[in-house]
A and B are shown apart, each in its own frame.
Chain A
Amino acid sequence: MSALTELSVVELARRIRARKVSATEAMTEAIAAARRTHERLNCFIRIDEDTALAAARTLDAEIAQGRVRGPLAGVPMAHKDMYYREGVASSCGSQITRERPAPSTATALKRLDTAGALQFGVLNMTEFAYGPTGHNYHFGHCRNAWHPDYITGGSSSGAGTSVAARANFAALGSDTGGSIRLPAHFCGITGIKTTYGRVSRAGAMPLSFSMDTVGPLARTVEDCALILGVIAGSDAADPTASRQPVPDYLAALGRPVRGLRIGVPKGYFYDGADPAIEQLVRSSLEVFRSLGCQVVEVGVPAIEPWNQAGTAIIAAEAAALHANWLRERPQDYSEQVRARLELGAAVAATQYINALRLRDQALKIWLAEVMSEVDAVHAPCVTFATPTIAETDVGGGQKMSQVLAQVTRLMRPVNYLGLPSLAVPCGFQPHGLPCAFQLIGRPFDEALLFRLGHAYQRATDWHLRAPGS
């Protein structure tokens, strides 16, 4: 691990702008770290060394002439392999699309390009982003940077473990049912699941158009704030992208958190929790208290129906999107993804539509009963000890539904409600694997979550711990 790859995105960008580090140096170090790490963790699908180094040299020449493209100028990044670049195949972690050239470039990538970020590769992920553990039967399972026998979480598995291992500064992930927050929790990094519509989905592989969201995984809240500020905002190419103005997320970080009300849910979120996980998550509340926040208990409505409704929506929409391939190329799916798509094909139209009809009422209840009392809800991401890859290798068999439901139980309701949620590392489990809490906010209030998360990270150092350090 080099000193350069230890830097945050914000700090690296600052040094490149100040010409203390060149983009070429940063890229050379990033690629070397990526190659080393990939051998152990299987987190990259492709590393584009020649084009990335050429791009870094071009950028250095621009900086030498006094021209800085934007706030991410020269920062190397690799992304989950589901963000399209025109003419290049995005595997989406699958056998099916690995040789299918993308018709256009994803809006999020275009915005990162404009801001000066340099993409140097694409990352392993769960096949078609449909799975929360990080297993991939086509490209091999992704391994946790803290211990290679353990899961990374998914579906942004390569994003989680490459950033944790200091083989990548930050990555775009996607979160349909926990796919950013779960890898953030399991790998000990920071990730933001954005409000539905906050970031354009144009050019991102769809899984469930009603639930898909785009967001960054990085080591710090500050990095996530910087990147979200670059990629958020309306987009003519995505009719579901919101026209709400994008706040200055970095400026929001400096505002005080004293007096903000943090809600601790009385039910559901801690049901059946492993005592060690519960203790880690609850102990992070002490930090917020010490920062002057008011920590209050808050009752939560019946959430399980929302979890079930969200599951039905994702299953039905995924099955519809995959209908042709499922008919024509069923053998090209892994057993688990095929089994889940078959389940989606069995969801009746009335069930799907009623799950969508219920969504408005659910959000109104949550806003009225929970968010009227507090500024953010603080909760665990998962409530069980991180399992091994072998323990969760359930394929498409009988245990599949049970295992997957357990992993996504505290994630999916947040996707169903369309709310933003920030995952922040808060310590280590007895077996040495990391743990994170999530802060759930009001729609489009990512700025407040960043403010709280940044204050927490200024008071703690969990986010600075690196595997093997």
Chain B
Amino acid sequence: MKETLIRMLLSQGVTLPEERAESVARSIAAQLETERAATRSLAFEQEPSAFFRTLEEGSK
């Protein structure tokens, strides 16, 4: 994953130093693991914009 990350960032024009790639990979992996578990229950149709309606109506 370290090499993939370095290549992925390089494709964006950003040079990720090899010594930092390891900790970036670890952080991303931890985020992904938590997020995968949390999004399992999401409806297929769920859209990001629904949040703003809930927020506006949440005061009532």
* B-binding residues in A (CB < 8 A): 195-197, 240, 242, 244, 302, 304-306, 308-309, 311-312, 323, 326-327, 330, 339, 342-343, 345-347, 351, 353-361, 363-364, 367, 371, 396, 398, 400-401, 418, 442-445
A418 CA to B59 CA, complexed, in Å: 12
* A-binding residues in B (CB < 8 A): 5, 8-9, 12-16, 20, 23-24, 27-28, 30-32, 34-35, 37-39, 41-42, 46-48, 50-52, 54-56, 58-59
Inter-chain contact A343/B28, CB cutoff 8 Å: yes
A345 CA to B37 CA, complexed, in Å: 23
Chain B residues contacting A360 (CB-CB under 8 Å) are 46-48, 50-51, 54
Chain A residues contacting B35 (CB-CB under 8 Å) are 305, 308-309, 312, 351, 354-355, 358
Inter-chain contact A346/B5, CB cutoff 8 Å: yes
Inter-chain contact A359/B48, CB cutoff 8 Å: yes
Tell me whether A361 and B59 are in contact in the complex, defined as CB-CB below 8 angstroms, given that A308-B31, A309-B38 are known contacts: no
CB distance from A2 to the nearest CB of B (A): 41
Closest A residue to B47 using CB positions: A357
Main secondary structure of the interface of B (DSSP, over half): helix
Inter-chain contact B55/A443, CB cutoff 8 Å: yes
Chain A residues contacting B20 (CB-CB under 8 Å) are 339, 342, 396
Chain A residues contacting B27 (CB-CB under 8 Å) are 343, 401
Chain B residues contacting A401 (CB-CB under 8 Å) are 23, 27
A418 CA to B52 CA, complexed, in Å: 9
Chain A residues contacting B56 (CB-CB under 8 Å) are 197, 242, 244, 443-444
A386 CA to B24 CA, complexed, in Å: 27
CB distance from A27 to the nearest CB of B (A): 38
Inter-chain contact B55/A345, CB cutoff 8 Å: no
A345 CA to B41 CA, complexed, in Å: 27
A304 CA to B31 CA, complexed, in Å: 10
Chain A residues contacting B8 (CB-CB under 8 Å) are 345-346
CB < 8 Å neighbour of A305 from B5, B12, B28, B38: B38
> 9 closest A-B pairs (Cβ-Cβ)?
A305-B38, A356-B48, A443-B58, A327-B13, A360-B50, A444-B59, A360-B51, A308-B34, A359-B51
Tell me whether A358 and B38 are in contact in the complex, defined as CB-CB below 8 angstroms, given that A343-B24, A346-B9, A346-B24 are known contacts: yes
CB < 8 Å neighbour of B55 from A197, A306, A326, A330: A197
Chain B residues contacting A359 (CB-CB under 8 Å) are 48, 51
A351 CA to B42 CA, complexed, in Å: 14
A302, A343, A347, most chain B CB atoms within 10 A = A343
Closest A residue to B5 using CB positions: A346
A sample of 11 more A-B contacts (CB under 8 A), given A330-B15, A443-B56, is A197-B56, A304-B34, A308-B31, A343-B27, A343-B28, A345-B8, A345-B9, A346-B9, A351-B31, A351-B32, A361-B42
Inter-chain contact A353/B14, CB cutoff 8 Å: no
A339 CA to B20 CA, complexed, in Å: 8
Inter-chain contact B42/A311, CB cutoff 8 Å: no
Chain B residues contacting A308 (CB-CB under 8 Å) are 30-31, 34-35
Chain B residues contacting A304 (CB-CB under 8 Å) are 34
CB distance from B57 to the nearest CB of A (A): 8
CB < 8 Å neighbour of A312 from B31, B46, B48: B31
Closest B residue to A326 using CB positions: B14
CB distance from A190 to the nearest CB of B (A): 22
A244 CA to B58 CA, complexed, in Å: 12
Inter-chain contact B37/A305, CB cutoff 8 Å: yes
Inter-chain contact B59/A305, CB cutoff 8 Å: no
Complex A-B: 14 CB contacts under 8 Å: A196-B55, A197-B56, A244-B59, A308-B30, A308-B35, A309-B38, A311-B31, A323-B13, A342-B9, A342-B14, A347-B28, A361-B41, A442-B59, A445-B59
CB distance from A390 to the nearest CB of B (A): 22
Closest A residue to B12 using CB positions: A345
Chain B residues contacting A244 (CB-CB under 8 Å) are 56, 59
Chain B residues contacting A354 (CB-CB under 8 Å) are 35, 39, 42
Chain A residues contacting B39 (CB-CB under 8 Å) are 354, 357-358
Closest B residue to A335 using CB positions: B20
Chain B residues contacting A197 (CB-CB under 8 Å) are 52, 55-56
Inter-chain contact A345/B14, CB cutoff 8 Å: yes
CB distance from A314 to the nearest CB of B (A): 12
A345 CA to B52 CA, complexed, in Å: 26
Tell me whether A367 and B48 are in contact in the complex, defined as CB-CB below 8 angstroms, given that A309-B35, A345-B14 are known contacts: no
Chain A residues contacting B13 (CB-CB under 8 Å) are 323, 326-327
CB distance from B25 to the nearest CB of A (A): 8
CB distance from B29 to the nearest CB of A (A): 11
Chain B residues contacting A306 (CB-CB under 8 Å) are 38
A20 CA to B58 CA, complexed, in Å: 44
Chain A residues contacting B28 (CB-CB under 8 Å) are 343, 346-347, 351
